[in-house]
Amino acid sequence: MAYLGIEIRSEEPTVWNDVALALLSEHPFESFEEKDDVLWAYIPMAEFREDMLNALDDIRASAGIETKIHELEKTNWNAVWESQFDPVIVENICFIYAPFHPKPKTGEYAYTMQIMPKMAFGTGHHATTWMMIKAMHTQLDFTGKSVLDMGCGTGILALFARIKGAKTIHAIDIDDWAIDNTMENFAANNAMPPEFAKCGDRNAIPKDARYDIILANINRNVLLEDLPTYAKHLKPNGQILLSGFYPHDVNVLSEVFGQLQFVEIDRLEHKGWCCILLD
């Protein structure tokens, strides 16, 4: 299969590479890697359309984004991906590693998770996942709780909720391969699988389901559409942890928070992204 490599250069790669990756993740790019501060996005030639790069328009001027499209020779993409995927450390809280990484020393971190992302988003590398895991550890009590992981990706957040004592977990994602990946990662960590896992959007949430905690690491536009549905499925005194948006998006989101009588009780910012806990 013929592939294209999209070379993405920015003026401040430590700030903008993560943002560009998140924006392009909405399209069917199969993998990403950073080489010498340059972000590369890979996609089968037959699936690429140049208008996919319009996803970068919002940051193009601010970040000084320049893109080039390269036709690539056949490559062992698994080998490339493995060479670029490093373990992720969320402070002293959690060590996230792939099957081909050495395991950490016993007791070195409070928690460890083995995650093979395949095509799914959510390895802990992205700032939003990093913040969600930190907030889950420091701000939420999962013991005996019912949890919805909306847009579960690799299942990393659902898995961490289970490790932290969640009794019931529902995992939903719009991509069927994400559901498969979630189940594989639960099995790899010897964790009880989600009681409910389904491909779909907010309409896939069981009508009678009520949750103590809802996790949603998606993006601003989806959150704006989905928050009223989340409110209907949240138990009294339940909490919602959100990420996938920028600090300047909070004003828009806050209007919906107020309409739904949610109160912001904590906020994290990391590498240009934001995470909010609602009560």
pLDDT of residue 32: 81
Domains of the chain: 3-82 (3.30.70), 85-278 (3.40.50.150)
Q: Report pLDDT digits (tens) over 188-242.
A: 999 999 999 999 999 999 999 999 999 999 888 899 999 999 999 999 999 999 9
**pLDDT above 90 as % of the chain:** 65
Q: How far apart are CA 47 and CA 33, in angstroms?
A: 19
Q: Report pLDDT digits (tens) over 27-74.
A: 888 778 888 889 999 888 888 999 999 999 999 999 999 999 999 866
Instruction: Return the bridge partners of 3, or none.
Output: 44, 72
pLDDT band (50, 70, 90) for residue 140? very high
Residue at token pair 């939420």:
140
Asked if the model's pLDDT at residue 123 lies above 70, the reply is: no
H helices present in 125-272, as ranges: 127-139, 156-163, 176-188, 220-232, 250-259
pLDDT of residue 112: 94
Q: Report whether 65 contacts 59 (CB < 8 A).
A: yes
